[in-house]
Amino acid sequence: MELEGLDGLILPGGESTTMSNLLRAFDFVEPLRRFVVSGRPVFGTCAGMILLSERILDGRSDQIALASCGIVSRRNGYGRQVDSFETDIEVAGMCDPFHAIFIRAPRIEETSSEVTVLARHDGCPVLVREGNVLAASFHPELTDDDRIHRLFAHMVRDAKSQDEFPDEAR
Amino acid sequence: MSESSSSFGSFPVKRGLAEMLKGGVIMDVVTPEQAKIAEDAGACAVMALERVPADIRRDGGVARMSDPEMIQGIQGAVSIPVMAKARIGHFVEAQILQSLGVDFIDESEVLTPADEAHHIDKFKFVVPFVCGATNLGEALRRISEGACMIRSKGEAGTGNVVEAVRHLRSILGDIRKIGTADTAELFEWAKRLQAPLPLVQEIAQTGKLPVPLFCAGGLATPADAALAMQLGAEAVFVGSGIFKSDHPAPRAKAIVEATTHFDNPDILAKVSRGLGAPMTGIGMDEINQRYAERGW
User: Which sequence spans correspond to the domains of chain A?
Assistant: 9-169
pLDDT at position B265 is 98
**In contact, B52 and B27? CB cutoff 8 Å:** no
Residue contact B6–A22, C-beta within 8 A = no
- Annotated catalytic, A141? yes
The more confidently predicted of residues B89 and B285 is B89
CA distance A150 to A128: 15
Asked if A104 lies within 8 A of B103 by C-beta distance, the reply is yes
Nearest to B3 among A46, A103, A122 (CB): A122
Chain B residues inside the 8 Å CB shell of A58? 79
Q: What is the predicted pLDDT for the residue at B186?
A: 98
Residue A69 vs residue B296, higher pLDDT:
A69
Identity of the residue in B3, B24, B98 whose CB atom sits nearest the CB atom of A18: B24
In the residue annotation, A30 being an active-site residue is answered as no
Sequence-distant (≥ 6) Cβ neighbours of residue B116 within 8 angstroms: B89, B296
User: Over its length of 170 residues, how does chain A's per-residue pLDDT go in tens digits?
Assistant: 688 899 999 999 999 999 999 999 999 999 999 999 999 999 999 999 999 999 999 998 889 999 999 999 999 999 999 999 999 999 999 999 999 999 999 999 999 999 999 999 999 999 999 999 999 999 999 999 999 999 999 999 999 988 777 665 44
ipTM: 0.91
Q: Say which residue, A170 or B202, is predicted with more confidence.
A: B202
Cβ within 8 Å, pair B16-A122: no
Catalytic residue among B14, B85, B153, B244: B85
Quickly list H helices, chain B. 11-20, 32-41, 53-59, 68-77, 91-100, 136-144, 162-180, 183-193, 197-206, 222-231, 240-243, 248-260, 265-271
* Distance between B101 CA and the closest CA of chain A, angstroms: 6
Residues of A with CB under 8 A from a CB of B: 13-15, 17-18, 21-22, 25-26, 46-47, 58-60, 75-76, 80-90, 101-104, 120-122, 139, 142-143
Mean pLDDT of B132-158: 97
Residue in A closest to B2 by C-alpha: A122
* Candidates A46, A54, A121, A130; catalytic one: A46
Sorted by sequence, the CB contacts under 8 Å of residue A158 that are 6+ apart come out as none
pLDDT for A166 = 65
The reply to whether B164 touches chain A by the CB within 8 Å rule is no
Helix (H, G, I), strand (E, B) or coil at B209: coil
Contact (CB<8Å) B103/A22? no
Please indicate whether residue A3 or residue B149 has the higher confidence score (pLDDT).
Answer: B149
Average pLDDT estimate for B238-258 = 95
Which amino acid, B170? Answer: S
- Is residue B230 within 8 angstroms of chain A, CB to CB? no
CB distance A71 to A112 below 8 Å: yes
Q: Is A145 exposed, middle or buried (0-12, 13-18, 19+ CB in 10 A)?
A: middle
pLDDT digits (tens, 9 = 90+) for B254-285: 999 999 999 999 999 999 999 998 988 888 88
Class of domain A9-169: alpha beta
Nearest CB to A101: which of B13, B22, B101? B13
Does the pLDDT at position B2 exceed 50?
A: no
pLDDT in tens, B170-199: 999 999 999 999 999 999 999 999 999 999
Rounded mean pLDDT of B234-251?
95
User: Which of B109, B99, B173, B165 has the alpha carbon at shortest distance from B136?
Assistant: B173
DSSP, res B81: -
Whole-model pTM above 0.90?
Answer: yes
Nearest CA in chain A to B77: A60
Contact A84 B8 (CB under 8 A): yes
**Residues forming beta bridges with residue A119, ordered by sequence position:** A91, A127
CA distance B287 to chain A (A): 35
Identify the pLDDT of residue A163: 75
State how far the Cα of B45 lies from the Cα of B236, in Å rounded to an integer: 11
Q: Return the closest-CA partner of residue B136 out of B232, B27, B14.
A: B232
If you average pLDDT over residues B104-129, what whole number do you get? 97
Which of B 256-285 lie inside 8 A of A, CB atoms? 256-257, 260
CB contact under 8 A, A17 and B21: no
Which residue of B lies nearest to A15 if distances are taken between CA atoms?
A: B44
Distance from CA of B1 to the nearest CA of A (A): 6
